[in-house]
Amino acid sequence: MARGESLHYHRARSRKPDRTLSNPEAVGTVATALAHAGRLMAGNPAAAAAQAAEILKVVPGHPDALLVLGAARLALGDATGALGILEPLAATYPKVPAVQYQFGAALAEAGRGDEAIAALRRTVKLNGQHAQAWRTLGDLLTATGDSEGADAAYARHIKASVNDPVLMEAATALCDGKLAIAERALRAFLKENPTDVAAIRMLAEVASRLGRYEDAEKLLSRALELAPGFDAARANYATVLMRQNRTTEALREIEALLDRDPRNSGYRAQRAAALARIGEYQQTIEDYEAVLKAYPTQPKAWMSYGHALKTVGRTEDGIAAYRRSLALLPSLGESWWSIANLKTFRFTNDDIAAMRRQLARSDISDDDRLHLDFALGKALEDAGDYAQSFAHYEKANALRRKAMGYAADETTGHVARAMAFFTRDFFAAHDGQGSEAPDPIFILGLTRSGSTLLEQILSSHSAVEGTMELPDITALAKRIGGRRKKSDVSTYPEILETLAPDDLRALGEEYLERTAVQRKLGRPFFIDKMPNNWLHTGFIQLILPNAKIIDARRHPMACCFSNFKQHFARGQGFTYNLHDLGRYYYDYARLMAHFDSVLPGRVHRVIYEEMVADPEAEVRRLLDYCGLPFEASCLRFYENERAVRTASSEQVRRPIYKEGVEQWRNYEPWLGELKATLGAALENYPGVPADWPDC
């Protein structure tokens, strides 16, 4: 029974019959027995159940004893038996937090997740300081995909868990989003109380919200060192590891949590998201199916399920899952966009009308609005209404850009520094260093450049395994540069000059170790298709000199506008403004031209339009570069049933089509700024100018 609450006060207020013994001595005996049962609950729920049963023999129907018995049965894993007791008790005492909490916990254990959430919401409405109810509610909301609601519940859990006035003040600031105030209070408190795990966890939460994940990780690691059974801190630790793309480590923590609480739907949802990142999609789907069995009316859970189904090629099932989420929540913009993002799907007139109705509302979030605008832009493009389509794309991008904070000057500055640093002499001085492994095949360039098509072609070869867009090169470069947050000045790439040959070899080996979890088929080569790795071409050459590097390139106008039409789940902040897109493409082409000069022949370039025009010739060139014999299966790439996570997932399951090459021309009247910004990169495509002017 949570928080030691008694029903006697509530019985008196509601004038229900007082089921105690008639004489004072007996009343005292019952109270003593109940107190003893409550103490037994923590370590011996079976004994607590036996004690409660003895009380009920003497006083049949005693509500406090029923509450102890229900809680004990739940603790013993008998959710059905617990519900048999707690469900009628909750109906009789709808305003007692202890009863509503135990009822909610039993519902969750029994797989009745939606009802459990309702019961827990009643609990915290009745008692806003019920720490465990807030924690359990956070777990259940995590399972449904409501990350915002879960974060708020976890913050309230932290606030309700502390009694010290300083920590209560810090927790209030945390709940209110006043992170600087919370941080000052917590740091001062921890100077005097360095082993207070609640304060350490709270400071880690502040660091995580500020994007300082390494700080959060260290704090949570310390909390778990002090209190290994602190499950709330362990769950936070797993989340922080995920945010640093350390998925394998995060999975270990999640599995440890599930070992102790195997039916926790929040942990199951966390595991599903982690497994998807390492390509274990069948287990991901099974986890989401288990979550949906408990939460059949949660739209975001259906949406996440749709994502997993789409990735493995179960397109119709994925669409059905997205449709189910929209039936539950018509304003869920991400589900509308997820259907549009299949690229091969065509919306009906009824769909278009439904999206317009949602956009006409004044009470939807910016996130839903921008997703709806992207989806409606795609629907109207397919319908041939290019003016209205562009208007919706423009609105969507403006909203997204406002939230992203992309700085084009940073990219231009990095390119200038890389061109100055990575010279012929520098590479000559480091010749023969790094890891000798030839395993990785990097496909880089801009997003929406045909890179998924190249990945699908190569992964159809018997010697090559496709994985996904791996974040590991970027993570290593960030670590080396010492940049922990945006305001920090990175020492990358210049710091590479200070690394010894053993350091470079170790970095190459670390990359291989980090990516090993993605390799399932035992093939000698694997693909890393992170497009942004073009920024790290020189770094790749240093640590993995025998890796293959393929530059996927598409006509600047086609590529940039295709990006403008695309909403990305994370990153790619340059894509939400035509001027930023033009500058980014220009910087990319400029840096790759530099590497053509200082590392002649090192990078193999595939021009998308040439691949479309003559697939076999280009595929043979590609395989020759990779040192692989020609296999006809590479021309039948669309028969490959591997999971594909990118926006082109459905397109690469079909033969090459030429229709998309010139689609951008339908929007040419609105693309003048893009043309002007691209400048020499457009004028010389597919070649490069000998002299690149400053952008």
Domains and CATH numbers, the chain: 1-159 (1.25.40.10), 434-683 (3.40.50.300)
In sequence order, which ranges of 516-577 are alpha helices (DSSP H)? 537-543, 556-564
- Closest among 483, 484, 451, 492 to 470, alpha carbons compared: 451
pTM of the predicted structure, to 2 decimals: 0.79
Q: Is the pLDDT of residue 154 over 70?
A: yes
H/E stretch holding 373: helix 366-382
Between the alpha carbon of residue 331 and those of residues 296, 345, 373, 392, the distances in Å are: 18, 19, 12, 16
Report the C-alpha gap between 145 and 136 in whole angstroms: 15
Tell me the average pLDDT across 493-507. 96
Higher-confidence position of 162 and 402: 402
Q: Tokens in use for 142? A: 């995590």
The predicted structure's pLDDT at residue 135: 85
Q: What does the DSSP assignment read for 18-78?
A: --S-SSHHHHHHHHHHHHHHHHHHHH-HHHHHHHHHHHHHHSTT-HHHHHHHHHHHHHTT-
CB contact at 8 A, 567 and 400: yes
Q: What is the pLDDT of residue 551?
A: 97
For 480, phi then psi, to 5°, come to -65, -40
- At residue 522, the pLDDT reads 93
Count each helix (H run) and each strand (E run) in the chain, helices first: 35, 5
pLDDT per residue as tens digits for the range 296-320: 998 999 999 999 999 888 999 999 9
How far is it, in rounded angstroms, from Cα 360 to Cα 373?
11
pLDDT tens-digit readout, 78-98:
999 999 999 999 999 999 999
Mean pLDDT of 629-656: 69
CA distance linking residue 324 with residue 303, whole number of Å:
8
More confident residue, 486 or 586: 586
pLDDT band of residue 641 (cuts 50, 70, 90) is low
Residue 596 clears pLDDT 90, i.e. is over it: yes
Of residues 577, 584, 605, 493, the one with CA closest to residue 538? 493
Report CA-CA distances (Å) from 597 to 436, 589, 603, 622, 649.
23, 12, 11, 20, 34
Distances (CA, A) of 613 to 457, 609, 633, 634: 15, 6, 19, 16
Whether the CA torsion 244, 248, 254, 260 is positive or negative: it is negative
The DSSP output letter for 663 is G
| Alpha helix (H) residue ranges in 93-146 | 97-109, 113-126, 131-144
With contact defined as beta carbons under 8 Å apart, do 384 and 410 qualify?
Answer: no
Q: Which of 642, 641, 627 is nearest to 546 (CA)?
A: 627
- CA dist 616 and 632 (Å) reads 9
Say if residue 633's pLDDT is above 80. Answer: yes
Contacts 24+ apart (CB under 8 A), 402-405: 403/366, 404/573, 404/576, 405/486, 405/573
Model confidence at 17, pLDDT cuts 50, 70, 90, reads very low
The rounded percent of the chain whose pLDDT value lies above 90 is 66
Distance CA 599, CA 612 (A): 27
Strand runs labelled E in 215-326 = none
Q: Which residues contact 602 (CB under 8 A, 6 or more apart)?
A: 541, 549, 595
CA distance 272 to 255: 11
